[in-house]
Structure 1
Amino acid sequence: MGTATSSCRRTTRIARRWRTARTSAASSCGSGRAAAPTGLHAATADAADAIGLGAQVGTLAAGFGADFVVLRGHPATNLDDLHTDNIVAVLSRGRLVFGELPGTPAPR
């Protein structure tokens, strides 16, 4: 098994976690514009704090783990934009593993 297989497995795990976080955020905070910031915080920083990793992950900041999803739309104001059809790119451990970002090479 090569790097492509590992990357595919990692992307699948990230997508599964993404679906779980989206469902959790929507169900705990409702859907739509008013609940979006609360829902995103619950699915990221609050979730990381709950499992004891708040000092390492859950926030986009220098020195934190860099696993994140780039989306079309604006999920910070509308949770309906948290849909897998809107995924533009996935970064895992700071490396592009799916999709494309302007000015970066596609994943290998």
Structure 2
Amino acid sequence: GEAQRIKLATELQRSQRGRSLYVLDEPTTGLHASDADRLLVQLQRLVDAGNTVVMIEHDMRAVAQADWVIDVGPGAGAAGGSIVVAGSPQQVARTSGSRTAPFLAQELARAE
């Protein structure tokens, strides 16, 4: 996780950005909430600059800020592997059968 964040920090310093794909595996893991918020702001800046950011994430604060969510499940390991729902965070939060939905709905309500 820390090496991933160092590489990302290096990328954020580049003057020429845009048209890049960033794939991040749980970038908020181990971060204090305020640090995770700062990271999410920087990731949004990458998107605003024309980049694509794909995250594997369990932190509902991060998921709630996504443009598009793909909920894979319904369970973990052998009990998962199927796309339960794909859509905006609001669409996913309203999906019955999604184990993510109630947690995402709670985060969306808190963020309002």
How does the TM-score come out when normalised to structure 1? 0.29
Q: Which has the higher contact order (CA 8 A, sep 6+)?
A: 1
